[in-house]
Amino acid sequence: MKSSIYSLTAVLLLFGSCSGNSSGQINQEQTKQVAEHHWKAFKENNLEEVMADYTDSSILITPDSTYRGLEAIRGNFIAAFKAFPNDQNPLTLNKTVVERDVAYILWQANTSAFELLFATDTFIRECFEILFGFSFEQSINKG
């Protein structure tokens, strides 16, 4: 078995100011809701709900490519859902930490092709949408 360490994904999403929060106050509960929504949608392979966390101005940066706009980002998640099939339900959330506008999740997965020993995602949100997100993983290929 080979062990691999990847910097899986860095996400950069660009948004204007929040129309509903002109005071600039950070709502930690909203940050928690965004993180929970994104995890639930990703775990369920719910493409439309995952995409609800992004806008046309979004930019998704991965080690292999940079995705600009909804159509390109959608293609990235279609590929991700093939790696983590919903019918196998291979994803396990181990930890969630939310501080102000930052959410951190630690998770793992076990598929027929590989075991994801751990993965982390960090999201910095604004206006119920992810402003920045960073991911890291360590996996072992099977076979």
Flag whether 69 is in a domain.
yes
Flag whether 104 is in a domain.
yes
Flag whether 2 is in a domain.
no
Flag whether 111 is in a domain.
yes
Residue numbers of the domain that contains 34: 28-141
pLDDT single digits (tens) 13-44: 333 335 455 445 678 998 899 899 999 999 99
- Give the total number of structural domains in the chain: 1
pLDDT single digits (tens) 57-106: 777 777 678 888 899 989 988 998 998 888 776 899 999 999 998 889 99
Flag whether 118 is in a domain.
yes
Q: What is the CATH number of the domain that holds 114?
A: 3.10.450.50
Query: pTM (2 decimals)?
Result: 0.76
- Using alpha carbons only, give the angle 35, 63, 90 rounded to the nearest 5 degrees: 50
